[in-house]
Amino acid sequence: EVQLVESGGGLVQAGGSLRLSCTVSGFSLDEYAIGWFRQAPGKEREGVSCFSRSHGSTYYATSVKGRFTVSTDNAKNTVYLQMNSLKPEDTAVYYCAAASESARWFKMVANNFHSWGQGTQVTVSS
């Protein structure tokens, strides 16, 4: 069974940092692309970053480029999203998701991702 579990969210002041974790099971990081998405109240879910280990490619949304970084620990089947220089507008529930390599995962469109975690809340205070 494919599962993704996020952790690491919390409350942080503007300018601070958080590291989110996405631990996966039921598949290896070589099999699927992994995306990070976020959804703020009243807004649509938006793509933050996505990467494919098999493709060796990582993409970031313009709004987070230079501030967020994706990394992996293959031994732990975990993907990290390091978030630096956080802004109040980064406040949202953050999700990780898996997409087949054949899907257009690099578009960071939620519908292309077939499995989702439960989400973790990130709140950035001003």
pLDDT, one tens digit per residue, over 11-65 is 999 999 999 999 999 999 999 999 999 999 999 999 999 999 888 899 999 999 9
**What's the burial of 44, exposed, middle or buried (CB within 10 Å: 0-12/13-18/19+)?**
exposed
The structure tokens listed for 80 are 């990290």
* Residue recorded with tokens 């992994």: 34
What pLDDT is recorded for position 35? Answer: 97
Report the C-alpha gap between 12 and 2 in whole angstroms. 31
β-sheet bridge partners, residue 35 = 50, 97
What pLDDT is recorded for position 34? Answer: 96
Between residues 90 and 103, the one the model is more confident about: 90
pLDDT single digits (tens) 30-40: 999 999 999 99
What pLDDT is recorded for position 107? Answer: 87
Q: Give the phi and the psi of residue 106 in degrees, each rounded to 5.
A: -70, -10
Q: Mean pLDDT, to the nearest integer, of 102-120?
A: 92
Mean pLDDT of the chain: 95
Q: Give the phi and the psi of residue 75 in degrees, each rounded to 5.
A: -65, -30
State the pLDDT confidence band at 85, using cuts at 50, 70 and 90: very high
